[in-house]
Amino acid sequence: MNEVFPFPALAGQEELKLALLLALVNPAVGGVLLQGPYGVGKTTAVRSLIDLMPPAPQPICVHGCSEDDPDAQCSDCKERVARGEPLTREEPVRLIELPLNARMEDVVGGIDERVALEQRRVLLEPGVLFAAHRNILYVDEINLLDHTIADAILDAAAQGRTFVRRGAMVRLFPSNFVLIGSMNPEEGRLRPQIMDRFGLRVWVHPLHRSDRLEAVRSGRAFRANPTAFRTLHTPRIMTLATLVARAREALPAVVASDEIEEAAVALVEALHIPSHRAEAVLLEAARAHAALAAREVTETNDLRAVAALALRQRRSPALENEVTRVVAEDTAIAEAVRDLRI
C-alpha cells in the first residue's frame, strides 16, 4: 500500500475531517466540496481516506465485465465464467484522481480501439467513472474542469450509474462512489448549478498557531520515516476504520424522526434557501452523524453538527432580489385585477 499521511494525525481541521467521514459513511450526502487556499491540507486529507474504507469487490477485467451483463463480456471473461470463476475480487478501496486534461470519453467511457482492430468487434470500454465504482473519486481544482465533464461526474454520483452511448450501442456501467472535489476560489468559482449539487461544503481555513506547529512537526516526521510514522498511528487508524465500517453497516437502519424532518425543513426555510436539495442533504448528513454515534434515530444534535456543512453557500442574494421584485410585481397585478371595472 502507498504510504499516505495518516488521517488521525491531521492537525486541527475538525470540520474538514467530519465532512469526509460523513461522506465515507453515507455517499448519499452528495459528495464533499473543499474550498480554501493552497497548502492547507485538502489533498493530504483526501488521500488519507483510503486507510479508513473497508475492502470492496473490484472488477478483475479492465473492460469492466460483470456477470450481470454477459453480452458485453470480453472473450477472457466469458472463459472465466465458463470455468465458474468470479469476475470480481475483494481489494482495498482505491483513490481515483481525475486529471484536469481528461476528455469526456476518458471520463464516461468509449470504444475500445484495440478490440475493434484485433477482434473486429466494437466493445464499449468503461471510463474513470466506472473505475471509481466502490472507490473514492477525487477531482482537484474542480472549478477549472470543463463544465460538461463536471456535469457528467455529478450525474453519475447522483444516479449511481453511467450510460455510454456510441451510435446504436449503449452500455450501462455502475458508478457508486464517494465524490470529493477541491478548489481554490482565487482561480474562479463554480457555476451555481454545479455548486448546488455538491452536498457538503467545507471552507478549509489556515490553521491556528498551535495546530500549525503540530502540522509542521508531523509533516517533518512523516517525510523522514513514513513507515515509522504510520506505525505510530496504526492503532488510531484501525479504530477509526472500524468506526466507519460499523457506521456504514448500520446506516440503512438509521431514521430521521418526523420532528427532525420538520426541524430540517424549518431551518432551510428560515435561511431562505431556495434549493430543495438542502433539506435532503441535511437529513442524510444527520443520519450519517447518528450512525457514527451508534444511534438508530437522529437527534437535534445531529442537525446542529452538520447544519453548516449542508447549508453553507446555498443562499442567493441575486435570487432573493429577484423574488422581491416578482412579489412586488405580482402584488401590483393582483391589485389591478381587483380594481378592474368592466
pLDDT-based confidence at residue 1 (cuts at 50, 70, 90):
very low
pLDDT of residue 63: 67
Q: Model confidence over 155-198: pLDDT tens digits?
A: 888 887 777 766 566 677 778 888 899 888 888 888 877 888 88
pLDDT-based confidence at residue 291 (cuts at 50, 70, 90):
very high
Q: Angle, to 10 degrees, between the axis of helix 226-250 and the axis of helix 277-292?
A: 110
pLDDT of residue 117: 47
116 HSE (CA, 13 A, CB side): 8
Residues 176, 173: Cα–Cα separation, whole Å: 10
Q: What is the 3-state secondary structure (H, E, C) of 102-132?
A: CCHHHHHEEECHHHHHHCCCCCEEECHHHHC
Q: Model confidence over 23-79: pLDDT tens digits?
A: 999 999 988 999 988 888 889 999 999 999 888 777 777 766 776 667 666 777 777
pLDDT cut 90: percent of the chain above it: 33
Residue 71 DSSP class: G
Bridge partners, 183 (sequence order): 35
pLDDT of residue 255: 93
CB burial of 306-340 (b: ≥16 within 10 Å; e: otherwise) equals bbebbbebbebeeeeeeeeeeeeeeeeeeeeeeee
pLDDT-based confidence at residue 342 (cuts at 50, 70, 90):
low
30 three-state secondary structure: coil
Residues 234, 252: Cα–Cα separation, whole Å: 29
pLDDT of residue 23: 93
Residues of the chain with CATH 3.40.50.300: 7-55+92-245
pLDDT of residue 26: 93
User: What's the sign of the alpha-carbon dihedral 141, 274, 24, 110?
Assistant: negative
pLDDT score of 131 more than 90: no
Mean pLDDT, the chain, as a whole number? 84
pLDDT of residue 283: 95
Q: Model confidence over 200-245: pLDDT tens digits?
A: 999 988 888 888 888 899 989 999 999 999 999 999 999 999 999 9
Residues of the chain with CATH 1.10.8.80: 254-311
Please list the active-site residues: 277
Tell me which of 236 and 151 has the higher pLDDT.
236
Tell me which of 121 and 287 has the higher pLDDT.
287
Cα Rg, the chain, nearest whole Å:
23
pLDDT of residue 275: 84
pLDDT score of 279 more than 90: yes
Check: pTM over 0.85? Answer yes or no: no
Q: What is the CATH number of domain 7-55+92-245?
A: 3.40.50.300
pLDDT score of 312 more than 70: yes
254-311 CATH pick, 2.102.10.10, 1.10.8.80, 3.40.50.300, 1.20.120.420: 1.10.8.80
Concatenating the DSSP letter of every residue in 225-247 gives -HHHHHHHHHHHHHHHHHHHHHH
Which grid cell is 280? 435532503
Q: Calculate mean pLDDT across residues 260-283.
A: 91
pLDDT of residue 234: 93
Q: Which of 240, 188, 209, 169 is nearest to 9 (CA)?
A: 240
Q: Calculate mean pLDDT across residues 114-123.
A: 53
In the chain, where does DSSP find H-type helix?
A: 14-25, 42-47, 75-82, 104-108, 113-118, 128-131, 147-159, 192-197, 209-224, 226-250, 258-270, 277-292, 300-311, 317-338
CB burial of 115-127 (b: ≥16 within 10 Å; e: otherwise) equals beeeeeeebbbbb
33 three-state secondary structure: strand
